Amino acid sequence: MARIRAINSDLGSSTIADLLPRLRARQVSAEAVVQACLARIEAREGEIKAWAFIDAELALRQARNLDQSTVRGPLHGIPIAVKDIFDTFDMPTCNGSVIHAERRPDADAPVVAMLREAGAVILGKTVTTEFAYFHPGPTVNPHDASRTPGGSSSGSAAAVAAGMAPVGLGSQTAASVIRPASFCGVVGYKSRLGCFPMSGVSPLARSLDSFGWMTRSVEDAGIVFAALSGLDIDYDIALEVPPNVGVCRTPVWESADGDMQALLETTAERLAAAGAGVVDLALPPWFERLVDAQKTVMAFETAQALADLRRRHGGQLSRRLMQLLDEGIATDYRDYRGALALAEQGRIELQSLAHDFDALIAPSACGEAPVGLEATGDPIFSRMWTLLGLPCISLPMGLGSNGMPLGLQLIGPMHDEEALFRAAGWVEKAVE
């Protein structure tokens, strides 16, 4: 990358909420914001390795075009890092695999096109695990290079945490937004299943794949949601009316380490002291079966989605991915159908159990990001919520014993994302 001249460095670490009024009023240019991000990338990318593709001139050209036009939309001039499984017409999309190293899509994925239409600058493509499964790429955790950033949206989480971009796009089939957000200490939002189109995105499991993004604040995550959905979040109301929160330790509570368990307990106490309605919500023991049900659905549908890759390029796929595909092929269709039925039963029962809550709160991960780059961490605390298709948002809530970030996730009602964002905004303010 060509060396970027010295610029106002605070622009690169600013929030979307701070940048947008300045960009709209022409107090700062989109080019200056992109320059700040590129300078940060130049300073830290050699260590973090968050990017699969970056072209400084292409990013700056987009910004200059915006500066020469009227205000384009609700994300005018905001740089966005795009996970390298989302098709982009002007950049390669390699899906974290040598098989697609030369792949150049002819069109944007719909969500990327929607972001461009909203005025965003597509800054570049971020590292993903191989086909968004478990085999990791080169990205390290920005807080400790010996630890994983999580996956599969590893590059996007690391880029936002390192100040390289204010937004990083991700996707989730098991825990691929929530877990890296927790490990890297950023806000991570996973949309409800079917909320946004997933065409033009490398598929894994059609009953699970969901769109999401990482930001530096709940408000920023809500701004992106509003730009894509048209539903603005009224945070003034959120701050005036404390939410009702259900504390959900989940049937896999023993998988959380001592730091994570203590964080959930102390956070519940702090929220209650701040005025929230906080009540323990114990899920029926059979909900533990949803974890294995998610694994069954993921294996079965991934074997279908990647059947051609397995047949023609099996020798170039990682051992981990081949094991999943073999498992999916061996899965009995009746077991797959039963897993989907169990998910539907879970949605119905949870709606009844949690109807009085604005959101549930639960661990985002087992604990801090593990040491080592050969794996991306255990996804167990998101498998159930992903299978149920619910919207989730992970908030950075503290540090573990080794000084690494810990996150808790809020899980919202299936069709009320505004309630989830309002609750998350209130919680963010209550614990800051």
Assess whether 146 carries a catalytic annotation.
no
Going by C-beta distance under 8 Å and a sequence separation of 6 or more, which residues neighbour residue 356?
A: 244
Contact between 176 and 152 (Cβ < 8 Å): yes
The phi and psi torsions of 54 (rounded to 5 degrees) equal -145, 130
DSSP letters, 111-162, are HHHHHHHTT-EEEEEE--SGGGSSS--S--BTTBTTB---SSSHHHHHHHHT
Given 83, 125, 190, 295, the catalytic residue: 83
Contact between 274 and 266 (Cβ < 8 Å): no
d(CA 175, CA 364): 9
Partners of 79 in the beta sheet?
121
Contact between 27 and 229 (Cβ < 8 Å): no
Assess whether 382 carries a catalytic annotation.
no
Assess whether 49 carries a catalytic annotation.
no
Given 176, 207, 382, 394, the catalytic residue: 176
Given 14, 152, 153, 156, the catalytic residue: 152
2, 16, 382, 428: which is closest to 221 by C-alpha?
Answer: 16
83, 105, 124: which is closest to 210 by C-alpha?
Answer: 83
What is the chain's length?
432
Q: Identify the H or E element spanning 181.
A: helix 178-184
Catalytic residues: 83, 152, 176
